[in-house]
Structure 1
Amino acid sequence: MPRRVAPLTDLKVRSAKKREKAYKLADGGGLYLEVTPAGAKLWRLKYRQLNGKENKLHFGAYPDVSLAAARERRDAARTLLGAGIDPGQARDAEAEKARAISENTFEKIAREWHGKMIKSWQPQTAENILHRFELDLFPVFGGVPIAEVKVADVLKAIRVVEGRGALEVAKRLTSDCSRVFNYAIRCELTERNPAALLGEVLEPREKGHFAAIEADELPKFLKALYTNEACMGMPVRIAMRLMLLVFVRTSELIETPWSEIDLEKGEWIIPWTRMKRGKRKIKPDKTDHHVCLSVQALALLRELHRLTGGGMLLFPNMRHPQRPMSNMALLKALERMGYKGDMTGHGFRALAMSTLKERLGIRHEVVDRQLAHAPKDKLESAYDRARYLDERKAMMQKWADYIDSIQID
């Protein structure tokens, strides 16, 4: 029969003095106080592991850990043993979990998520996402363990972005931030997503956020364009006019190689790999886009060919001819015309869509296909673009003639 041990008292623990050699004061159930020659009083628990081997647990030092607290830890450890769990291994697992929590900061997990996702994005998309995180999120809570990031932390960072007027960036940043937390949840690094509900408190983004003039302002815009042409280089001047006549996306124009243009046939076909929807990693739209050139647009391209036709690109960069012109060249041209903040490259598309439908009576479907928008029924995409080709050619000529008819002398 095991020897019965008289429980310790607070007085006995407090009064224990150091000796030349370390000694123990037992409390029962394997718990004892070890008093070292230096006078330290350390709580220990001696127990047998599930495999029968003897082991020890360290509960801390007195008086930081009181007699009552040491007994609570002993009882908890013996409860684990009774359930078939080694308390030492459980303690190590908890310590490892705490270490992982402290090391798995938001920035570390966000970069890990970014690395996992990067193959599904276009290079520019991947670069933009990481840049926004580095600029707007990491400085605010990047060093905080992801399990400890609060809603207030995320909202504070997003409000700064909104304060710059970048409402669309704020929306996308919140969405990407939420995806990082969802990734952390799947990896069992946190149990909650503090960014999940922030969409309800973001400042609403105005529809039609790309600056664009209205149809009534077009005559005045044309006059400003032609009177300011002396301040533009010839390629920029032609690029501005082509943006107005063909209203493709800015990148689709300035990155165009001469190989896409057939001046003899008067055709410009953009391969699907250069189109916005064609660049998608998942289910890209593999439909080439027929720009449909008016007589006026074709004349501009022939004029441009005399300037840059010896190279690869329609609009080469002056310093690096193998690279395209910067879209900033067009924005600067608009600024010199007095339209800074009122018109953008994308604004030419919005202007054409509204004017063609409202002033020239063109059907929405025809305009939409010329803009290379996807039809709601995606299965009809390739069929519709071919189906409306003749109507689109007629529309583009009508549009160019309309522009000529409203010019102010």
Structure 2
Amino acid sequence: MALTDLFIRKLKHSGKPSGDKYSDGRSLYLLVKESNKYWRMNYRFDGKHKTLAFGTYPEISLAEARELCADARKQLRAGVDPKAPKIDPHAQQQLEADLNTFEALAREWLAKMEASRSAGTQEKVLAWLEHDLFPFIGQMPVSTIKPRDILGVIQRVEARGAVDSAHRIKQVCGQILRYGVAIGWAERDVTPDLKGALVAVPRKNFAAITEPKELAGLLRAMHAYNGHVVAVTALKLTPLLFVRPGELRAAEWSEFNLDAAEWRIPAAKMKMKMEHMVPLPKQAVELLRELHRVTGHGKFVFPSLRTEQACMSENTINAALRAMGYTKDVMTAHGFRATARTILDEVLNERVDLIEHQLAHRVIDPNGRAYNRTAHLPARAAMMQRWADYLDKLRAGANVIPIRPAPDVGPA
């Protein structure tokens, strides 16, 4: 039904964050939000969804809004986009502020992630959003969010003693903002500007070595480890490739193209159920060619010592780490992913999106879809080679830059 002046005058905002919409027909509608009533028109031009803003009621009457809508539709029939000549700049700015909020972006991002996440993870992230983020920055336009806005949120979480949650919430904010960049709502992810601003997570919460100097000692111990060639090779490949331990131990020779230096992991083996491409640095290719002489006649790259019909035990890598003196509170096989993520970002300054791709995390493209398995493959291959070369230099005793500066303890 068409709107009337009497009906419009009586309208009240229901309290919904996104506002209430009332259609007048032919694409014209009234958006009621808080104490304001905005005239809007939705249309498509050149295959894209767009919105015109005609001002607010009662400054723009119902009759005037209908005239403006009719003029816009005439321009559309003539093949002209009516947005530029007809939009009130102040109304358009208000439109973007109303629609492109952090909460709106976060909820859209969360919906995109639902198919590739467990229900428990989705619930935990939603709880963080609704309890720790939306009350403070939820209604802010994404384009206006500054590092200090996110820092304020995170410091409130830190203040209640949830240091680990503070770091996780910062990561969630970064993922949301990177999605915003992809779809054009934000210019950049501002969370990297918070590096060093958070309280460090106590080491007991980490099962990974993330300091280069400590990693150097671990690499030397790994290369001196005396064990079966299958276990030794898997141990050496773990930091080089930083895939999930289950993906490595279940690797099959049919998945590798050593001439092309690529490992294609089938979707069925991946946590996100999407095929994953792992560019192999030359060091990894050499290790695999040597191992192929031993296990290449069978199905599995790392077969069980008891039967070649099964892959290596899930405890093999962790058992080797324990034998070298690294307890489960210091380092785990899975921890090499955190090691790579931290040092690639904070020491080698590699692109965060390439790191996320290589970790087989879900990265959103400008159309809101997950990138396919070949996304940025040449750049990822170059990054993996730089990572392997860095590990070689680290193991050989090269000077390393610590991520966190040593504390000033004063004169002895």
Length-normalised TM-score, structure 2: 0.46
Bigger Rg, structure 1 or 2:
1
Q: Kindly indicate whether structure 1 or structure 2 has the higher relative contact order, using CA contacts under 8 Å at least 6 residues apart.
A: 2
Length-normalised TM-score, structure 1: 0.46
